[in-house]
Structures are given as C-alpha cells and as structure tokens.
Amino acid sequence: MDETLETLRAHARSAAAQAHVPYSGRRQAAVLLLSDGAYVPGVRVESASFSLLIPALVNAFSTAVAAGRPDVVAVVYNHAFLPEDVAFLRATPQGTFVQHAADVFVETASKLPAVRGRLVPFLDAPAPGSAEDGIALARDVAGRAHVPESQFPVGCVLVVEGGRLVPGVNVEHADWSRILCAERNALGTALTWGLRHPAALYLTCLKDPTGTPCGACRQLLAELAPEATLWMDRGDAPAEAATPERLLPGAFSGQALVKPH
C-alpha cells in the first residue's frame, strides 16, 4: 500500500500545476485510484464568483463518473484533507471511505492495486461533423449522469484542442452544495488535463427539450469558454446555437480580484 500511496501523492503534486486559481493561488489537487489501478486527477477551479468554486475533490469525482468509472478505491490530496472534503467523502455513494492519513482516504472493502496510469477521460469518437452528431454524443453521455435526487439527467460534450471530446454529466451528492452540473464537470476535466480554449459544447437535457445552462454554468462558460459555440438539444427540432456572451450578457469578469502570484 505504501508504494501505491506514494505514487498517488506524486501524481497529486504534479496535477496541482494545472489548478485554475487566479484569485487565491491555492494550487490544490486530488487524485482518485480506481479498482484497476488507473488514476483520475482533479484540480481546484476558481470562478470570479467565488462561491462557484469547483473543489479539487468534486472535480476528480465528477470526471470519474462522466467517464463511467465510479469504482474509486482510494483518494489522495496534495495537502491535508479539509473538513468539508471529509464530509463529502463520508456521504459519497461511490464507496465507504475511511481516513488512512492526513492526505489519504481508502475504500474499506478494497485492497489497493498498483498504479498503472492516468485514466483517459475523452470519448473515443471523431469530432462532430454537425450539431446533430454532437447532440447524439451528448445524449449517450447523459446516460452516465448520477442523479438520485432530481432524476434529471444532463449530458454534454466539450470539444477542446486537437478535436478531443470531454464528456460531462450532472453528478449529485447528498450535500446539494457539492452537486456539479454537466457543463462545469466537462470544464473542470478539461482544465485538469491542461486544455484551454474550448471550441464547442453540445448539451442535452433528456427530459426537457427547452433546457439551457443554469446561471452558475453560464458564469463559468463566460469565464472559461468565452469563444465556444454552445449547441442545445431541442428534441425533434434543430439544435439551438448560442454563445456564452448571449447567454450571460455583462458577465462578471473579476479582473479587479485577480492577485499577482
């Protein structure tokens, strides 16, 4: 176990470099170990609207769920766990975790495998050739949503550099303040993998053909994907195109809050 944990600690320290922390400078990262030895990083993602922070732990778990891999057996931070992180792990449905060290939680029923490599979170598909193709991918991804509270699955596909496709789903938690929407899930994954400047996002709300991003997601899209074209599923009708600026005119930039680091 010790060798496995030391490897995960090293990955957490490395992942922290990708944290998006223009306001605090707190480069935090979490790494999940899956049952087959793959690991999933997640970094802290800050917003100009401070309360919309995506914690590293929530980012990592949502990436794993969107990739169809909820089989988490250990969690390692690049610093000691905070009380809110402990509360998150005690209530997550992805396992029963106990604290092993200040920076480590392990799943009680599992023997830790050796670390074998970083999970690839991207979809194995070509970049969509049309809005319909992108929406079809988002509909498939929505089946991975974890929505025991709302029963309202949402899925999206973010197109990033090199045509890679980042899936995102809404991931719910008993603590509603730790719920993450599909759009922010995908943005958090992209930033963790060092991918900026998304080109497009395809979004579906399977139970609501009039669905659009919530206010929180609009703010993060305006900050992190300002040039992206957003395509929204409209059921039997053609997909509707929008931009972050159209969805949230006059979005708060937070430039006066950025700290030199």
Task: Report the residue count for the chain.
Answer: 261
Convert 125-147 into a string of H (helix), E (strand) and C (coil): CCCCCCHHHHHHHHHHHHCCCEC
Q: Are 170 and 179 spatial neighbours (Cβ–Cβ below 8 Å)?
A: yes
Round to whole Å and give the CA distance between 40 and 26. Answer: 20
Q: Let me know if 183 is a catalytic residue.
A: yes
Q: Which two tokens stand for residue 215?
A: 């206010």
Q: Are 157 and 138 spatial neighbours (Cβ–Cβ below 8 Å)?
A: yes
Burial readout 175-190 (b: 16 or more C-beta within 10 A, e: otherwise): eeebbbbbbbbbbbbb
Residue whose entry in the numeric block shows the structure tokens 């990033």: 160
**Number of CB atoms found within 10 A of residue 201's CB:** 29
Q: Which two tokens stand for residue 217?
A: 């997601």
Q: At what angle do helices 182-192 and 56-66 cross, to 10 degrees?
A: 100
Q: Are 93 and 64 spatial neighbours (Cβ–Cβ below 8 Å)?
A: no
Amino acid at 134: G
Active-site entry in 46, 107, 172, 183? 183
**Number of CB atoms found within 10 A of residue 234's CB:** 15
Give the residue numbers annotated as catalytic, written as ranges.
183
